Chain A
Amino acid sequence: MRCSKAHKLISPYIDGELPEREVSELEGHMKVCDKCRAEFEEGNDLHNLFANMAVFKAPYGFHKRLMANISSGKTREISGIPVFVRFAEAFVIIAIIVIGVVSGSFLIQGFIPDKTKEVMASLSLDVFDSAPPDSLGGVYLAMTEERNEE
């Protein structure tokens, strides 16, 4: 048996879900393969750890509360969550993010130093002339305006 096949059989072997024929094949392989035997031992240790898990009993009065609901015909809303609740939840989260970003951008204005504000103002498009008078474009525009006036 190859290790790859043994690897697939180890978990069902631990659970007692392996057919007899494969049990003897796997056991034979593990006698000669340290790696697969170690893998089995690890898996088996994990399986044994679960024996430490707490076993919970239904709380006191569980069935009385249930039967009272059934007898009174009261069937409280069963766990299904309406779709609109999910959409509302997503909407609220997006709204909070948007409000945060917008208010944050206003707040940050107050923290910008004056010098930075001047630099930002100088970059404004209002002071930007696309065709200065001494440029080729400027001369062309001036000539066009003169011709229009004539």
Chain B
Amino acid sequence: MRTTLRALFLILGATLALWTSGCTQNPPTTGGPSGATSGSPGTTTQTSAATGDIKIGCYFSMTGGTATFGESSMNGIRLAIDEINAKGGVLGRKLSYQLEDTQGAQDKAALAVQKLINQANVDVIIGEVASSSSIAGGNIAQNSGVPMLSPSSTNEKVTKVGNFIFRACFIDPFQGFVMARFAKDNLKAKTAAILTDKQSDYAIGLAKAFRGTFEQDGGKIVGEEFYIQNDTDFKGQLTRLKQLNPDVIFVPGYYTEAGLVAQQARELGFKGPLLGGDGWDSPKLTEVGGEALNDSYFSVHVDVESSVPKVQEFVKAYQAKYSANPDTLAVLGYDSVYLMADALTRAGSTDKAKVRDALASTRGFQGVSGTITMNADRDPVKEAVVVAIKDGKAVFVTSIKPAGGDIGTGGDTAPATTAPSPAPTGAASPGADAASPAASPAADASPAASPAADASPAASPADASPAASPAATEAPAASPGTP
């Protein structure tokens, strides 16, 4: 018996190892093939017929587990290029692009950028979504002195690669800052607790920035607890936090855990708001969390339901071209092309150093995702949107600008908040109930998306719906994989 058990124990160890590796293989699930409704996956090349074209090199994951990332980004990029060309191009020349597939892998990303620079001789580069791939590709671009702009990599380290690397989105710690300011100024919270996903750099970064800003503003962090991804039971941690009576709980993780956390927090009788970052931005959030999420808030890059004309024009053009609703990645891809075009115009040539300088001196650029000014770190200083969850839908609350451009350590200026707009348009999903998977603004932006919204999960898996939301869903999931 003794030997049996010993053998058994050895096997258990081996199995554990096997299973753990199985766990890590668990892909950050995406809509998979269903995402590939428009545009073909794989390496697509659109060679410029005329040598006079300004060539934009693009590298994205067009196949593999994060294929919807590349798909959405490229949809935004193609739309912007078509629009610019229809208006006569830039510097009197047309824009063209060459796309390389990274399959979501870092080494492939580096190869793709090498190919773009050495074989295709591109003038500028736009890519990737996942921060780890942007860093790998960024190193090559930096060494070759080609300006690169990542539309949506939020990890701080991306633009630290070098002075030729830019991005079009805000960075992770900024969201912690935004939610701390929001808790303090809009929710009038005096105390807060934090429940952090200890395995994710993204969540840790947000938690750190939240703590810093909240305490600096005179608030008190009464407690911090931790969990790890794929945990399902948070009651122990929540029991401890509830005992400390915080006004709000900040949960800077991803949507699946956030939904469960909300449920369990309500079961334990915590009634205050829960706060999160763009890791919550998914239709799956309310599918899991249901009514427990009512009156909770999270930050996102852009509100596609916004009545701002610029946003509405973009949404209309996107729907006309792709018969789908744009998600965050499409918006950021679209803005990236316009940022590049703006820099090229101001540089007056395609000289790479001049384009770089022009990009670095971008001030007050009006994009769909907000007004962008590049700071000294080549990160945009732009506002984030805070949305509230009301009956399973994300509703615009306010947008918060970085104070004095100094992210995370904000000065004495109060955050500039715009007046809450009556955001939910009449078009938003008729008959959506609490169970409807319509958390993402993209999902209920138009009537086209609503059939998916009021059907229950079984009949219509959200990722089969025409809305491009699954990609938005996974956008934040790109960050945890970052080095």
Q: Do A and B come from one complex?
A: no
**A interface residues with partner B (beta carbon < 8 Å):** none
